[in-house]
Amino acid sequence: MERQDYTMPTLLKYENVAWYEDGSVRILDRRIYPRETSFVECHTYQEVAQAITDMVTQSAGPYTAAGMGMALASFQSRKLTFKDRIAYLEKASEKIATARPTTANRMRLITEKCVVIGKKALAEGNDPTEAIKQNAIDSLNRRYFKMNVVAKFLIDKIPDNGTVLTQCFGETIIGMLLREAIEQKKTIKFFCAETRPYLQGARLTASCCAEMGFETTVISDNMVAYLLSSQQIDLFTSAADTIAQDGHIANKVGTYQIALLANHFGVPYFVTGIPDADKKDKASIKIEMRDPEQVMELNGIKHTLEGVDAIYPSFDVTPPELIGAIVTDQGFYSPYDLESYFKKNKTNNFY
């Protein structure tokens, strides 16, 4: 398949997401982009896992980093026996998959497949490192291709000269929606909620939109009610880190409050992504609690007095009654009828 990152903005070029080469993995540091364009070099799979934990990359970026990290683990184990090498890959798979607890189920789909591919390559006398790296590239192509299909469905809900509100950084769907709008010669304006505490909406989503030539405006997270009450917003959209089968979705913390406001002002909310076969309901969603120090500082500058506490839930859960539809590669699904998706898709090969 042709590489699917053609005409994509800087952040979504494959080599800028995560890339294995010659015993190391390079990951674009999204914590500081676009203020700086800098890469974190990982020389062990443990460093890749730590980079994922530290949010050097996030959104769909960790899925790519996971695959490339498994290629690095294969390289690290190159001098071991067949049996020990497989055990090494299995250990790496679990370490990388659990780097972010809320998405561990999706990460395991990637890392465990890498183990299978590594075993097969070794049994056939081939280089497992290159085979695992190629699988990571193939996974990128599948995800980009499928999200391009999702974008074609979503863009039909956006009128020409329409306005879209985003939350956090939806990564692949953002790039594909922008590309689809250009190809359809559709004019769209974007308002991007900044997304505290790492400002992914302001730094990442807004950067992609502006780089691709779209009118782009950033708002702080506490301006959403003002925006929806004073501007014509045609829809609110976000990706989802988890889509449970009962219609609850987990996404960057703050999504729930925007969904509540969108519902109040009559703005439809469309969630993009593929439902999770192994997440049956809200109770199966684990919310990652991060270091509260990250809330009390911005760009490394502390802005609270000593003795002040904070909390940092990385995600919140939006209930199905606030969601207009889940937009998938198979079209629009009611959040109350996601079982129908799995009747058509027995396995999830998205990752």
Which DSSP symbol is given to 168? S
Torsion from C-alpha of 159, 214, 172, 276, nearest 10 degrees: -40
204's tokens: 């990442």
Closest by CA position to 76, among listed 66, 67, 89, 65: 89
185: helix, coil or strand? coil
- Cα separation, 211 vs 228, whole angstroms: 25
Please, are residues 216 and 34 in contact by the beta-carbon 8 Å criterion?
no
Which DSSP symbol is given to 288? P
Known catalytic residue at 241: yes
- Cα separation, 115 vs 66, whole angstroms: 12
> Sign of the CA dihedral 144, 149, 150, 155?
positive
Catalytic residue among 241, 281, 291, 337: 241
Residue 56 contacts by C-beta under 8 Å, 6 or more apart in sequence? Answer: 27, 29, 30, 31, 40
Active-site positions read: 241
